């Protein structure tokens, strides 16, 4: 049976229950509009300035507000008419959400064709399609995107994940509400009481799942509708319990409201990317938001800080401002240096775009006859304008998401020297005298490499890179990582699968460390396999072999337990194997992930202690221990390289933190140089940078990094002549 409306036997009350949000534009609560302003400004500040570190909790504030308002309107409709019209509800959602959303998607997708090279521009269109389908959260979760510490190029549409969460929730929630109210009416029970019980169960179940998923898979938890449902649910619970909020004494309302604002501010300052989120720490902004809304439900909370003309106007713009701010941040970062002018330009561009889209698109379409049941509204001009705006957006949508991808076209913008896609292929080893000894070979290779680095630093146009930008990042990581899946070694079966070279070789090397360690493997194999070596991989992603406790950037199952266990297990395997050579390398950014939260000298001291402990535990082993210095982090090629810049714009210095990390490792390893372990440290900075510590994005025609941290396989292979004497001694 096709029907727009499902009726229930509930009786329409003589008067509405007080405290519920009212219908109509004339009953906007100023305190909630001001709260929206706080939420959007927190998000914008976090994304633009990186402070406050917990500014992303503004999204949680939005979730609570949304749950409260939408549930209240649905309850009010049911109390007034005895039914909930799904057709009317989704018409309202489309009119409210789609116009500005589609406009930003279209504009961003078009600008991506102008600013980015083909691969990233195509990825942006792909992101836009997922966002248009309100499935962006799952798309980014599947891609493994970490919202707070992304290693891949940042999508200018990444922030659309939260809209997807809301709309997925509202596919289900009106049905739940209607069913519960209908069953309660049939059984003669109070509908709001039954709804409160069900909502409590939804909140409790969602929160319990969020706690579990935050511990086991933080990235999924951050984007997951299931792990976020309790936040919208708490807003809904407040709407259901609005008659109770009405009874709050007037004297307590300001105290409750201000306490909520303080809680939101504290959460923004104290919560950061290392905090378990969304559970349990999202409780801080969520409960604080509930307090602010409750304080103004059925009375005046008198919170002038948010309920003022400026706050109310920014709150009205908050949806458009949220949509526009992130594309402005990402796209303008490709066009200008990130200085004071950049920050001012981003702020002005986002605010102007939000204001224009609010007044010229969002509001006119909401007031137009588009998708509105019943007679046309009296404002003919506004209605006509809104209809034309909707038609224009639809046409633009078809052009960007259907015609452009189908034609395979790219934006016809002049390119300085556009890189072309090329199949990943290892460059030949440096041509040197084949009879030279390893040390002489390395010296000649370093001389050629130094010259190539200098030439790359002097380049003014982008060369044709191989692998090119059209090669997805993960296709150029070491094949041992992405093809053989040997990054995360957990048991003997993994060990058997991730052993390279002749199984009967007389000499054995083991590789320990994190993903930086395995990114060396193409070069290590080329340096050792021809000399009769077997190489055993014992790595774990994000987990250094140095016994310090770190947190994950990108979550796995109970990483904070798994990493220490792996560190112990890997050393046990080393002792069992009794290798001739132990190779270790670590990411310098391990220092910013310490569970101790140490930083600066304290973090360096913790690393020194851990490295000393590890080397001491192997001190009696008659083997060579080679610590390969961390490759200096560089620019992300997918982000830095655009149609509007050149190689000089992507040169990066070796940071003080990296130099300090290298110094500490050098000094620590030097203490074990005369032991049976024969420990040595290899300073690799000259393999990536010049003597002035300037590091190019590419050398010759080969990018150095796939993502700013991990070498592409061809570059690691090029370093084989330099690795050979360092490993063989």
Please check whether residue 417 lies inside any domain of the structure: no
Long-range contacts of 183-189 (CB under 8 A, 24+ apart): 184/10, 185/8, 185/9, 185/10, 185/11, 186/8, 186/9
Residues 377 and 472 in one domain: no
Residues 180 and 43 in one domain: yes
How many domains does the chain contain in total?
Answer: 2
Residue 652 has pLDDT above 80, yes or no: yes
Residues 464 and 378 in one domain: no
For 494, the token pair is 């993994």
**Predicted confidence band of residue 24 (pLDDT cuts 50, 70, 90):** very low
Please check whether residue 451 lies inside any domain of the structure: yes
Reply yes or no: is the peptide bond before residue 83 cis, omega within 30 of 0: no
User: If you average pLDDT over residues 642-651, what whole number do you get?
Assistant: 92
Alpha helix (H) ranges present in 618-711? 637-640, 656-670
Cβ contacts of 633 within 8 Å, gap of 6 or more:
588, 589, 652, 655, 658, 708, 709
Residue 570 has pLDDT above 90, yes or no: yes
Residues 385 and 528 in one domain: no
Residues 300 and 382 in one domain: yes
283 touches 227 (CB < 8 A):
no
For the domain that residue 457 is a member of, what is the CATH number? 3.40.50
User: If you average pLDDT over residues 457-468, what whole number do you get?
Assistant: 91
pLDDT at 100: 97
User: If you average pLDDT over residues 323-341, what whole number do you get?
Assistant: 95
User: If you average pLDDT over residues 628-655, what whole number do you get?
Assistant: 93
Residues 359 and 475 in one domain: no
**Predicted confidence band of residue 676 (pLDDT cuts 50, 70, 90):** confident
403 touches 391 (CB < 8 A):
no
**Predicted confidence band of residue 635 (pLDDT cuts 50, 70, 90):** very high
Q: Give tens-digit pLDDT for 525-542.
A: 999 988 899 999 999 999
Cβ contacts of 286 within 8 Å, gap of 6 or more:
60, 63, 64, 231, 234
Please check whether residue 399 lies inside any domain of the structure: yes
Q: Give tens-digit pLDDT for 289-300.
A: 999 999 999 999
Residues 465 and 584 in one domain: yes
Please check whether residue 18 lies inside any domain of the structure: no
Q: Give tens-digit pLDDT for 689-699.
A: 999 999 999 99
Residue 268 has pLDDT above 90, yes or no: yes
pLDDT at 195: 95
Please check whether residue 69 lies inside any domain of the structure: yes
Residue 383 has pLDDT above 50, yes or no: no
The angle formed by the CA atoms of residues 482, 484 and 488, to the nearest 5 degrees, is: 75
Residues 398 and 499 in one domain: no
Residue 274 has pLDDT above 50, yes or no: yes
Please check whether residue 728 lies inside any domain of the structure: no
Residue 391 has pLDDT above 60, yes or no: no
The whole-angstrom separation of Cα 650 and Cα 308 is: 45
Q: Give tens-digit pLDDT for 347-379.
A: 999 999 999 999 999 999 988 887 777 655 555
* Residue keyed to tokens 């400026």: 310
Residues 397 and 354 in one domain: yes
Residues 119 and 168 in one domain: yes
| 294 CB-contact burial (10 Å; exposed 0-12 / middle 13-18 / buried 19+) | buried
According to DSSP, the residues that pair with 695 across neighbouring strands are 652
N residues, the chain: 729
User: If you average pLDDT over residues 293-312, what whole number do you get?
Assistant: 94
Q: Is 639 helix (H, G, I), strand (E, B) or coil?
A: helix
DSSP 540-595: -TT--SSS--B--SS--TTHHHHHHHHHHHHHHHHHHH--SEEEEE--GGGGGGBT
Please check whether residue 421 lies inside any domain of the structure: no
Residue 48 has pLDDT above 50, yes or no: yes
Q: Give tens-digit pLDDT for 398-455.
A: 455 544 444 444 443 334 333 333 333 444 444 444 334 778 888 999 999 999 999 9
Measured torsion, CA atoms of residues 339, 342, 344, 347, in degrees rounded to the nearest 10: -130
Q: Give tens-digit pLDDT for 115-168.
A: 998 888 999 999 999 999 999 999 999 886 543 344 568 999 999 999 999 999
**Predicted confidence band of residue 22 (pLDDT cuts 50, 70, 90):** low
Residues 322 and 443 in one domain: no
Task: Quote the domain boundaries for residue 560.
Answer: 438-710
Residues 372 and 467 in one domain: no
Domain boundary among 384, 407, 430: 407
Please check whether residue 568 lies inside any domain of the structure: yes
The whole-angstrom separation of Cα 195 and Cα 25 is: 26
Cβ contacts of 31 within 8 Å, gap of 6 or more:
257, 292, 293, 295, 296, 301, 303, 306, 307
Task: Name the pTM for this structure.
Answer: 0.82
Residue 393 has pLDDT above 60, yes or no: no
């Amino acid at each position: 049976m096709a029907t727009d409306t499902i009726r229930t036997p509930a009786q329409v009350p003589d008067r509405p229950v007080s405290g519920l949000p009212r219908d109509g534009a004339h009953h906007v609560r100023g305190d909630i509009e001001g709260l929206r302003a706080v939420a959007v400004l927190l998000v914008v500040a976090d994304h633009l300035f990186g402070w406050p570190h917990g500014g992303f909790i503004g999204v949680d504030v939005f979730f609570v507000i949304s749950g409260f308002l939408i549930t209240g309107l649905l309850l009010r409709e049911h109390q007034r008419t005895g039914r909930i019209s799904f057709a009317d509800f989704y018409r309202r959602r489309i009119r409210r959400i789609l116009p500005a959303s589609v406009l930003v998607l279209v504009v961003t997708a078009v600008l991506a064709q102008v600013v980015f090279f083909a691969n990233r521009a195509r990825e942006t269109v792909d992101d836009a399609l997922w966002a248009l389908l309100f499935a962006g959260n799952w798309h980014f979760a599947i891609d493994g995107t970490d919202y707070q510490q992304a290693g891949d190029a940042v999508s200018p549409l990444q922030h659309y994940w939260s809209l997807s969460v809301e709309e997925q929730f509202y596919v289900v929630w009106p049905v739940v509400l209607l069913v519960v109210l209908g069953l309660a009416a049939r059984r003669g029970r109070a509908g709001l009481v039954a709804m409160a019980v069900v909502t409590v169960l939804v909140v409790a179940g969602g929160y319990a799942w969020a706690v579990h998923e935050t511990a086991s898979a933080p990235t999924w938890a951050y984007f997951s509708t299931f792990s976020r449902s309790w936040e919208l649910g708490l807003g809904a619970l407040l709407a259901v319990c609005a008659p109770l909020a009405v009874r709050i004494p007037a004297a307590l309302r300001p105290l409750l409201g201000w306490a909520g604002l303080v809680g939101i501010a504290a959460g923004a300052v104290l919560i950061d990317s290392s905090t378990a989120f969304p559970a349990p720490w999202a409780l801080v902004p969520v409960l604080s938001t509930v307090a602010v809304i409750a304080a103004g439900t059925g009375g005046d909370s008198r919170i002038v800080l948010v309920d003022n003309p400026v706050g109310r106007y920014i709150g009205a713009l908050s949806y458009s401002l949220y949509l526009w701010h992130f594309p402005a941040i990402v796209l303008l970062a490709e066009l200008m240096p990130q200085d004071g002018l950049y920050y001012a330009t981003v702020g002005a561009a986002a605010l102007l775009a939000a204001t224009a889209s609010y007044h010229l698109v969002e509001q006119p379409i909401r007031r137009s006859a588009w998708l509105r049941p019943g007679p046309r509204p009296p404002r003919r001009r506004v209605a006509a304008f809104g209809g034309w705006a909707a038609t224009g957006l639809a046409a633009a949508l078809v052009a960007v998401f259907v015609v452009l991808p189908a034609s395979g076209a790219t934006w016809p913008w002049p390119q300085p020297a556009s890189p072309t896609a090329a199949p990943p292929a290892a460059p030949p080893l440096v041509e040197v005298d084949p009879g030279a000894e390893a040390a002489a070979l390395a010296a000649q290779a370093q001389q050629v490499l130094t010259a190539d680095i200098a030439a790359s630093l002097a380049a003014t146009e982008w060369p044709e890179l191989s692998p090119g930008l059209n090669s997805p990042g993960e296709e150029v990581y070491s094949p041992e990582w992405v093809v053989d899946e040997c990054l995360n070694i957990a048991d003997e079966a993994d060990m058997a699968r991730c052993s390279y070279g002749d199984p009967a070789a007389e000499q054995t090397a083991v590789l320990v460390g994190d993903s930086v360690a395995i990114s060396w493997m193409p070069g290590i194999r080329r340096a050792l396999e021809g000399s009769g070596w077997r190489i055993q991989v014992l790595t774990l992603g994000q987990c250094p072999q140095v016994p310090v406790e770190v947190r994950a950037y990108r979550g796995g199952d109970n990483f904070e337990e798994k990493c220490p266990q792996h560190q112990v297990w890997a050393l046990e395997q080393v002792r069992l194997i009794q290798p001739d050579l132990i190779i270790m390398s670590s990411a310098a950014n391990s220092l910013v992930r310490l569970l101790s939260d140490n930083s600066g000298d304290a973090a360096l001291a913790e690393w020194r202690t851990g490295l000393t402990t590890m080397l001491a535990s192997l001190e009696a082993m008659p083997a060579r221990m080679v610590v390969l210095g961390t490759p200096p982090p560089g620019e992300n090629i997918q982000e830095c390289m655009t149609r509007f810049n050149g190689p000089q714009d992507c040169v990066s210095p070796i940071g003080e933190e990296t130099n300090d990390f290298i110094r500490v490792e050098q000094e620590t390893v030097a203490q074990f140089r005369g032991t049976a372990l024969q420990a040595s440290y290899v300073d690799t900075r000259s393999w990536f940078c010049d003597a002035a510590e300037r590091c190019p994005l590419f050398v010759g025609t080969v990018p150095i990094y796939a993502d700013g941290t991990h070498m592409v396989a061809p570059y690691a292979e090029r370093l084989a002549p330099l690795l050979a004497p360092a490993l063989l001694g």
